[in-house]
Amino acid sequence: MASFDVELVGKIGSMALIRREENDIDYNIFSRLGSQLHPGIIWVSSGATEIGRLDYLRRNNGKELSSENIDEIKTDYAAQGQAILMENYRRFIAPHYSVRQFLVEHSHFNDPEKREYIRRALLRCTAQNAIPIVNYNDPVSCEENRRMELNNLKKNGGHIVECIDNDETAAVISELVKARRLVILTSVDGIYADPADPKTLIREIAGKDAAELTLNVRAAQEHCRGASRAGANGAYAKLAFMLGPACNGTEVLIANAKYPLNDILNGTVPRTRIGIR
């Protein structure tokens, strides 16, 4: 039987944290999450860039940042949004818990000493009554530099972590701390056999062992190819990132952020479960 050091790693996507039609933060989501987060949970949160963008629009008469350099725009929005993101977690998480921010980059997980340092810091949070909020360090992320660093690492062989997507960040952290469960919150109910038809939700992708599970995940990924619905490529990538933790014994749950976390864990709402039977 697998041994776990952390009960739960969770992740929420950017679009699940905003009301897109109103160009505003979805404070109900923050409130619901805050009421359910507690020490023993490691929370990976996207949202800094999009929340920073919304805040910039609000303070500049609806005008977007303008630059030919997309990395610069992302950096500026993310730097503005980080403080707001953490402000909302601190506002809605119970005041008797500490809240800690961890900004990580791909280089941290590709260095054994840094990986171990992060692992120990995250595990200390539980004993110290703290909830870690983890995000990729977008304000200092530059695609050109990142590609150069990754190419140099690949020359040395071995598995390379990119962590450009916080789904991957959550999966890497889940494996790092040996999480019993990994929950991915999105703006849809899970993985679909037909991305255009919400009635085709795949409720479980499982296998008797890692080999069979891998085959079944690969088969489910084929449903994500060539779909017209926005985000279908995201579903394909999600499945790829989730395979590692699932094969190592972690139960992976992909669900809609509109549902309470406890209901997702208990299986009383629609979700996609990925794991070994």
Q: Which residues of 103-130 are buried (b: 16+ CB within 10 A; e: fewer)?
A: ebbbebbbeeeeeeebbeebbebbeeee
Q: Rounded to the nearest 10 degrees, what angle do helices 232-247 and 166-177 cross at?
A: 10
Report how far residue 188's alpha carbon sits from residue 198's, in angstroms, rounded to the nearest whole number: 9
Question: What digits encode the pLDDT tens for the residues 155-205?
Answer: 566 566 666 688 999 999 999 999 999 999 998 999 999 988 989 999 999
Looking at residue 248, the DSSP 8-state letter turns out to be T
Q: How far apart are CA 245 and CA 166, in angstroms?
A: 14
Per-residue model confidence as pLDDT tens for the chain (277 residues): 568 999 999 999 999 999 989 999 999 999 999 999 999 999 999 999 999 999 999 999 999 999 888 889 999 999 999 999 999 999 999 999 999 999 998 788 888 999 999 999 999 999 999 999 999 887 776 654 555 455 555 556 656 666 668 899 999 999 999 999 999 999 899 999 998 898 999 999 999 999 999 999 999 998 876 443 344 457 888 999 999 999 999 999 999 999 999 999 999 999 999 999 9
- Is there a contact between 260 and 188 (Cβ–Cβ < 8 Å)? no
C-alpha atoms less than 13 angstroms from C-alpha of 149 in its C-beta half-sphere: 17
Cα torsion 226, 232, 233, 235: sign: negative
Rounded Cα distance, 194 and 200, in Å: 6
DSSP state of 63: P
CA distance 48 to 202: 30
Q: What is the spatial distance between Cα 16 and Cα 137, in angstroms, rounded to a whole number?
A: 19
Place of tokens 């304000």: 139
Which of the listed CATH numbers 3.90.1170.50, 3.40.50.720, 3.40.1160.10, 2.40.30.40 matches domain 1-181?
3.40.1160.10
pLDDT digits (tens, 9 = 90+) for 229-257: 344 457 888 999 999 999 999 999 999 99
Residue ranges, CATH 3.40.1160.10, the chain: 1-181
At 206, give phi and psi (nearest 5°). -140, 170
Cβ neighbours of residue 107 under 8 Å, at least 6 residues apart? 114, 149
Cα–Cα dist 204/206, whole Å: 6
| Adjacent-strand bridge partners of 101 | 133
pLDDT of 195 reads 85
Q: What is the C-alpha radius of gyration for the chain, rounded to an integer number of angstroms? A: 18
Give the C-alpha separation, 121 to 44, whole Å: 15
